[in-house]
Amino acid sequence: MKKWYPRTLSSGANNTVIALSETEVAKLFAGDTRSDIGSEAEKMKFANAVNGLIVHFIRLDELNAETEMLVMERLFPMDFRAYEFEKRELWLDVFEDELLALHRAGFVHRDLRRPSNMPGERFDNIFLTAKGLRLIDVGISALKQQVGERLFGRFVDQELKELEVFRAFFLSR
């Protein structure tokens, strides 16, 4: 059984996210996961320097002696079904432009659509916020400089396929 933390917002396969305040959340890394937390922080910082699509990195910190935290901005998701098709279409166009800008810069998210064997909704990592569509969870994201041209290209191709599925989902609801 997973450990429960006060102020839990969500819990995935490997990490729990807790609310720290009205402006900050923390993704928890229990045990010796320094390389994972550092890698995720670096990918967030890279993407944040390109545009505002990825949730903003704030700092690395610790909750206690056993648990490290990746602190990020707190997003408040809205239900896109409450908005007109034309607004959703505009938000989606901006989302696609920002995602392609990340690809051109050498960043690929790799988790727009969850695998069917993962818990949660299929597009849990895409939030509609007051600032438009945003992406969370860069745990399996990749930087071209780290994975090379061929692998990065394969990841981008897969992400573009997931983007088409998301487009149909987002506009048809």
Residue-range domain boundaries for the chain: 8-73, 80-172
The overall pTM is greater than 0.85: yes
The most distant pair of C-alpha atoms in the chain lies apart, rounded to whole Å, by 49
Residue 156, judged by CB atoms within 10 A of its CB (0-12, 13-18, 19+), counts as buried
81-100 confidence digits (pLDDT tens): 999 999 999 999 999 999 99
Superfamily of domain 80-172: Transferase(Phosphotransferase) domain 1 (1.10.510.10)
**What pLDDT, on the 0 to 100 scale, is given for residue 34?**
59
Residue 4: per-residue pLDDT: 80
Q: Binning pLDDT at 50, 70 and 90, where does residue 32 land?
A: low
How far apart, in Å, do the first and last CA atoms of the chain sit?
35
Instruction: List the one residue out of 128, 53, 54, 51 whose CA is nearest residue 88.
Output: 128
User: How many C-beta neighbours within 10 Å does residue 168 have?
Assistant: 10
Q: Using pLDDT thresholds of 50, 70 and 90, give the confidence band for residue 173.
A: confident
For residue 118, name the pLDDT band (cuts at 50, 70, 90): low
**Averaged pLDDT of the chain:** 92
Q: Encoding tokens for residue 98? A: 């920002």
Give the confidence band of 35 by pLDDT, cuts at 50, 70, 90: low
* Residue 42: predicted pLDDT: 96
Predicted confidence band of residue 121 (pLDDT cuts 50, 70, 90)? confident
Percentage of residues in the chain having pLDDT higher than 70: 92
Q: Among the listed ranges 9-13, 30-34, 95-99, 104-108, which one has the minimum average pLDDT value?
A: 30-34
> Which CATH homologous superfamily contains domain 8-73?
Phosphorylase Kinase; domain 1 (3.30.200.20)
Q: Inform me whether the pLDDT recorded for 119 exceeds 60.
A: no
CA dist., res. 164 & res. 42, Å (int): 28
